[in-house]
Amino acid sequence: MVMAYLILIFSAALLIFYFQATCQAILRREFDHKYCDAVVKASCLEYPVMRESVQVRGVDRDFKWFCAGLRCDYLTLTYLLRQGGQACPLDLRLLMAYFQLIYLWMFTKHVLRLGEERAMLRLTAILEFLANAAGQRLNYRLGNAVPVKISN
């Protein structure tokens, strides 16, 4: 019986490890242009401001504001990615699931007072990748050869 539990725990640990390694490999993929700037401006996303606030040491952050901002940005980007009649690719769906797991991990670390800064930065990196993917899909859908520029 103990051996069955050990196999189950080891298998779950390997699954988590490979899932995280796959998502990190997806996040390392580079885009031909930086599409996220246009998406951030057009959708009024807040993750760049949040990333800057996390990177500055000694600044008090409102955790509820941070969670709400991340959640709103995530919902906006997933909406943009799922629109247009095309199915969302597997790599983006994996990143969406990864975002949910890291979000839960960040909240758990905050409750246990273990310091959630690394999880916050990882979440903003995922949002930046999703914004780039949404901008790229929009750009190709519109048939533009160059990135869409949005002026104020």
CB 36 within 8 A of CB 132: yes
Residue 86's pLDDT is 72
Residues 6+ apart with CB under 8 A from 19: 94, 98
Residue 127's pLDDT is 96
Among 74, 50, 48, residue whose Cα is nearest residue 62:
50
pLDDT digits (tens, 9 = 90+) for 38-61: 899 989 999 999 898 888 876 667
Task: Answer whether residue 145 shows pLDDT above 60.
Answer: no
Pair of tokens at residue 42: 């057009």
Task: Answer whether residue 144 shows pLDDT above 80.
Answer: no
Task: Answer whether residue 149 shows pLDDT above 60.
Answer: no
pLDDT digits (tens, 9 = 90+) for 105-130: 999 998 998 888 899 999 999 999 99
Residue 152's pLDDT is 44
CA angle 25, 106, 6 (to 5 degrees): 70
Q: 7 falls in which pLDDT band (50, 70, 90)?
A: very high
Q: 84 falls in which pLDDT band (50, 70, 90)?
A: low
Distance between CA 79 and CA 62 in Å, rounded? 26
Q: What is the pTM of this model?
A: 0.86
- Dihedral (CA of 102, 127, 77, 107) sign: positive
